[in-house]
Structure 1
Amino acid sequence: MADKKRESPKVSIPEIPPATLYKYMTEARIEVISNRKIRFTQPHLLNDPFEVKPVFRDLFSKSDFEDVVKAGLEKIIRETGVLDLDNPRDEKKYHEAMRAIENKIRGGDDALFTMMNDASPRLEESFRRQTEKKIAILSLTEDRNNLLMWSHYANQHFGFVVGFRSDHRFINCTISDSDEMRRPRRVIYRNDRPRITNRALSMEPDLLFDTLYLTKSIEWSYEKEWRVVMPSEDRVDVKPQKGGDVLLYDAPHDAISEIVIGARASKEFCVKLAYMMRDTPSLHHVRLYKAATSYERYGLDFFEVRYSLSPEAMNYDLFSPRRKNPIRQAAQRYSHVF
């Protein structure tokens, strides 16, 4: 039949996130470990001024409105069985109904659509205000070895990175199969800002969610971001702050799989974090690493810190110069010759 040539609706296939997702932090954020709470940030307080700001323009065009009405009618027909589209007689009635819709909409007064589009800026502002009140975002990444992010978010390599289990209920706690929030979602990078039209509003819920909350400029693609969107009402604490409240959510220790100390972290900070982990039984499963600048490339090497052993072993792992220096390695390899 004729309708077989029509495009099938696009359906988003849920992506499986990496086993570990990372959060870059400054030294002051060590309280995330000690207090077991982490901030989820309202969109308007994030560092990207375009965050969750789709374009509401030409929301009501005749062609989009026509598509929405047709899709709605077809859905009703299929769900109710009022017409059998495999029956030639019913198929003819179906196409007659579609042509009638086309003629009615295309012959309608443009003033109605002009008036509706004039309201788009108000709809955009209303969406922005509601978003500020109702959701909060935790930005994570799949990459712990990103030099720019170490500089931008971990105080120029003086801070640290926490690796969270992506399957833990802390960030993966959907309440139903249709829940688009409460789980890690990969950010989509585009050259153009998403536009909200009638056609967009008729998308499958997951695709509309991607458009509204997961789309950023291509210039941010180096971050390889995965984000978790949570309802603001799920927070466990609020800290009033000038410019916007800080919303805190539970971050239990068993959600953490690893911690990486920055290459330039102070001795005081290294010792403080390592001793905190040693003295906190609920952190004993967490692997601790110390980052060091690579000798030959623009990158970092990571060395595990044995914080559960003697202070001497811990201090050696934290402070010994163990970068992969080929000259030092060669000297060690052939030391027996001299």
Structure 2
Amino acid sequence: MNIPKIIYKYESFSAQSLKNLKAQSIYFGSPLGFNDPYDCALKPSIKEPTNQELELFRAEYSKKDDVPLDMQERFRSANILDLRRMIVGNAVPILEKHTQKFLKNNGVSCFSEKNDDLLMWSHYGGRYKGFCLGFITEFEPFIKMKKVQYTSVMPKFDAVSALVTGNYEQILDLFCTKSEAWSYEKEWRCLHTDVGTLYTYESKALDSIYFGPDIDEQSLQIICLIIAGQNPNVKFWRGERSSEKFEVNFKEFTYISNIDSKRLGLIK
């Protein structure tokens, strides 16, 4: 799945968001604090294995070196119904264990494909008074982003695949699955193995900053001053409310500090 060339992160104007901007850092917070009650709190059911999958499991798992001999014999001799009960019974605590481990230890940072969504500006962009950062995804940590999948039904855990291969990567997909009601967010996520981590990105990873249409001039100036002092290549875009449609339009501008403006005779 191709990651967009530019990915966006909405921010409210706050002391913390300014500190992160100055430090060129992204915060990976606990998924337990997300505003969607189902987000990262899914209780997926176990996918009902087919007879063919059960036989595959029997053939593969009953000859694994790390499986005790008595357990291998149980797998070989069990009928299909008993084998299904064994797999599902073992999968439930495994899924719960990995889920709780992720929620306790991992951090998540959320991004969007869009920089002009009205609801996103309202919910995450400080009610149009904040800003939105545009990152180039060829840099870490964006290069490892996972796309959020939207669905109307709870996902199912493929126990046979996990038990046979020992790969529980699909559990991570559970933390990138949300209700269709949130599909307007067009969300992508970065996952970190340590919760509460500030990840410092390369300076050139920040491509652009979009200012909400209601941001005050002083706040805009503060952000521009921070960026001008450490990354002069970042592009600035000022948002304006459309008078014809329910949308925000952005126009690029060049930032000139008050000192330079006076020196150039632009202001007195």
TM-score, length of structure 1 as denominator length: 0.63
Tell me: CA distance 1:57–1:190, structure 2 relative to 1, closer, same or farther (3 Å).
Answer: closer
* Alpha-carbon shift at residue 210 of structure 1 (Å): 5.9
In the alignment, which residue of structure 2 is the partner of 1:211?
173
Separation in structure 1 between the aligned mates of residue 6 and residue 226 of structure 2, nearest angstrom: 22
Tell me: CA distance 1:74–1:268, structure 2 relative to 1, closer, same or farther (3 Å).
Answer: same
In the alignment, which residue of structure 2 is the partner of 1:195?
156
In the alignment, which residue of structure 2 is the partner of 1:17?
3
Separation in structure 1 between the aligned mates of residue 8 and residue 88 of structure 2, nearest angstrom: 47
Is this contact kept in 2: 1:136–1:230, CA < 8 A? yes
Match of 1:146 among 102, 110, 117: 117
State yes or no: 1:223 paired with 2:207: no
* Alpha-carbon shift at residue 215 of structure 1 (Å): 1.2
After superposition, residues 263-302 of structure 1 pair within 5 angstroms as: 263-278=213-228, 280=229, 282-302=230-250
* Alpha-carbon shift at residue 137 of structure 1 (Å): 1.2
Deviations 1:22-42 (A, max 9, x none): 000010112221122221122
In the alignment, which residue of structure 1 is the partner of 2:79?
105
Describe the SS at the equivalent of 1:283.
coil
In the alignment, which residue of structure 1 is the partner of 2:67?
none
Separation in structure 1 between the aligned mates of residue 186 and residue 126 of structure 2, nearest angstrom: 19
* Alpha-carbon shift at residue 48 of structure 1 (Å): 2.0
Q: Whose Rg is larger?
A: 1
Deviations 1:266-316 (A, max 9, x none): 1210111122233x1x3101001110101211111111121147537xxx9
After superposition, residues 1-338 of structure 1 pair within 5 angstroms as: 15-28=1-14, 29-58=17-46, 63-64=49-50, 67-70=53-56, 73=59, 104-106=78-80, 108=82, 113=86, 116=89, 120=92, 122-172=93-143, 183-199=144-160, 201=162, 208-209=170-171, 211-232=173-194, 246-278=196-228, 280=229, 282-308=230-256, 310-311=260-261
Calculate the aligned-residue CA RMSD, in Å: 3.5
Which residue identity is paired with 2:28?
F
Separation in structure 2 between the aligned mates of residue 218 and residue 107 of structure 1, nearest angstrom: 35
Separation in structure 2 between the aligned mates of residue 109 and residue 18 of structure 1, nearest angstrom: 44
Which residue identity is paired with 2:191?
V
Separation in structure 2 between the aligned mates of residue 144 and residue 271 of structure 1, nearest angstrom: 20
Separation in structure 1 between the aligned mates of residue 224 and residue 51 of structure 2, nearest angstrom: 60
Is this contact kept in 2: 1:55–1:124, CA < 8 A? no
Tell me: CA distance 1:199–1:156, structure 2 relative to 1, closer, same or farther (3 Å).
Answer: same
Separation in structure 2 between the aligned mates of residue 224 and residue 115 of structure 1, nearest angstrom: 34
Which residue identity is paired with 2:128?
H
Separation in structure 1 between the aligned mates of residue 160 and residue 83 of structure 2, nearest angstrom: 20
Structure 1: gaps spanning 5 or more residues: 1-14, 78-100, 173-182, 233-244, 317-338
Tell me: CA distance 1:202–1:188, structure 2 relative to 1, closer, same or farther (3 Å).
Answer: farther
Q: Percent identity?
A: 21
* Alpha-carbon shift at residue 211 of structure 1 (Å): 3.4
Q: How many residues align?
A: 248
Deviations 1:98-147 (A, max 9, x none): xxx8984236488x649927x83x55543332012332111111100100
Structure 2: gaps spanning 5 or more residues: 64-74
Is this contact kept in 1: 2:44–2:154, CA < 8 A? no
Separation in structure 2 between the aligned mates of residue 145 and residue 201 of structure 1, nearest angstrom: 40
Is this contact kept in 1: 2:51–2:80, CA < 8 A? no
With 20-29 and 201-210 compared, the bigger mean Cα shift is at 201-210
